[in-house]
Structure 1
Amino acid sequence: MIAKPLAALLLTSALALTASPASAQDSGALTPKQAEAVRKVVRDYLMEHPEVLAESLEALREKMRAQAEADAHKMLEARKDDVYRSAEDPVSGNTKGDITIVQFFDYNCGFCKQTFDALWDAVKADGKVRVVYKEYPILGPDSVFAARVALVAKAQSQAKYDDLHRALMKFRGRLDEKTVLRIAAEQGFNVEQLKKDVTNPEIDRQLAKVFDLGRSLDIGGTPTFIIGDRILSSALDQTTFRQLIDNARKTGAGKS
């Protein structure tokens, strides 16, 4: 790394510039002339080695990423009941499975739809995975409405939720209110009753709870998956899902 020689050079220069009788008398403080000399050393070095800045920025980004990940893991442990065991959340797959996948998603998120089949192919192939859905409508009012309708379906039964969830995820295009209600009608829901039920304050409370959880885990996008001790904000393919499931099982992380 070039940053280490830079640090050594600056330290040597600073020591050399301050090693004088005058500096000893004033506890090593740099005179204006000495300070300017140090600045020149730094400036000249960076002009000759501009890659140092890129390396330093990359090191800073990595440090910040690692700290954010550590903070998220601490919060994940502190709120594990809200993450894995909230009685209000839709739960599918093998509800008695030994590994849990938690998904934060939005019905208008293209990447969420892209990864839907991959997730379920992996879940079915494994047979021992529990899936917890976190309705996280961050892409506008249409998404909020779709999430409301889905939570109404969940209040009726998990099976009805599963059917509607799949239909909404399989739809290609923008899911506005009219389209959501049409799809719900195709799934056998009473549309007029749905329009009333989506205004229930309980739905607001459930969504607010998930948003609070998402913020505490620093989840800013969808899809975001929690698998084992990992929080992954990206679309994943079936192979990656299966690898993550296997790793979680081997390490004992993400046990249901």
Structure 2
Amino acid sequence: MKRLIAALMIFALPASALDLSAMTEDERAAFGAAVRSYLMENPQVLVEAIGELEARQVAEAARSDQELASTHAEGLFQDGASWIGGNPEGGTQMAMFIDYRCGVCRQFNAEVLDAVEEDGDIRLVMKEFPILGPESEMASRFAVAVLQASGDEAYLAAHNALMEMRGQVSDESLRQIAERIGVDADDIMNRMQTESVTAVLRANRELADAMAIQGTPTFVIGDQMLRGMPRDGLGPTIAAVRADG
């Protein structure tokens, strides 16, 4: 019984109610021994406590992400420089941070675009976020340059080509993509290093830094942030976000 009471004191009482400093050395030793003995005999209590702690940490992280998404909503959804896909007038706003060399981004690109089109009420904002080296940077610059020079349809064609690309990103491979999608290769290659393209990538990186986004893909759906591809698929996840909203 004494062991049970000791354990309950740890898990049920607030820290301020348990003043170990008021105990004598012998009392602290006895208290510690009683708690240890109880936990050894009832390890499920510790498992439950750890589970509760993890659940609280997850909930706190979700609240923090929600605050970040709300704070940076304008930068996420109304920057005036990113490609807009899906339904431009859609009731559900979704931003997606991508890297063209990210294996998960590449694997699920078609699924994401299909889910957006099938839904019909999603306004998708694409955020180039090159974090995997020089080839990522080149690919992102190419995509942004195509958008600025040739518009939305050309961007989508370039985006898909980059996601499907299996070889190295190089001047030659990017020129081949430009020719295949029907844009001026020389113009695009020259535009890639301009300040207008650099400014887009800089703004995306600053936004990601402010929101503690360190990996791709990262989704922001309304005020909910998803760090990685949802396990249950994008469609069900969007439905769940709407239900929570």
TM-score of Structure 1 vs Structure 2, range by shorter chain: 0.7 to 0.9
Residue of structure 2 equivalent to 1:21: none
What percent identity do the matched residue pairs reach? 29
Shift of 1:219: 2.3
Task: Indicate if the aligned counterparts of 2:230 and 2:237 stay in contact, CA closer than 8 A.
Answer: no
Letter in 2 for 1:227: I
Task: Normalising by structure 2, report the TM-score.
Answer: 0.81
Q: Kindly tell me: are residues 169 and 9 of structure 1, through their superposed partners in 2, closer, same or farther at Cα, counting changes over 3 Å?
A: same
Aligned length: 234
Q: Kindly tell me: are residues 6 and 224 of structure 1, through their superposed partners in 2, closer, same or farther at Cα, counting changes over 3 Å?
A: farther
Residue of structure 2 equivalent to 1:207: 201
Partners of 1:194 and 1:221 in 2: how far apart? 27
Shift of 1:161: 1.0
Residue of structure 2 equivalent to 1:104: 97
Partners of 1:212 and 1:70 in 2: how far apart? 21
Shift of 1:82: 0.8
Structure 2 alignment gaps of length 5 or more: 13-17
Letter in 2 for 1:50: P
Shift of 1:160: 1.6
Structure 1 alignment gaps of length 5 or more: 13-17, 19-26
Partners of 2:106 and 2:219 in 1: how far apart? 14
Say whether residues 1:195 and 2:189 are aligned partners: yes
Shift of 1:119: 2.0
Partners of 2:117 and 2:223 in 1: how far apart? 22
| Correspondence for 2:80 among 68, 87, 106 | 87
Question: Which protein has the larger Cα radius of gyration, Structure 1 or Structure 2?
Answer: 1
Residue of structure 2 equivalent to 1:230: 224
Partners of 2:205 and 2:189 in 1: how far apart? 23
Task: Indicate if the aligned counterparts of 1:94 and 1:129 stay in contact, CA closer than 8 A.
Answer: yes
| Correspondence for 2:111 among 105, 118, 128 | 118
Q: Kindly tell me: are residues 52 and 138 of structure 1, through their superposed partners in 2, closer, same or farther at Cα, counting changes over 3 Å?
A: farther
| Correspondence for 1:165 among 159, 165, 179 | 159
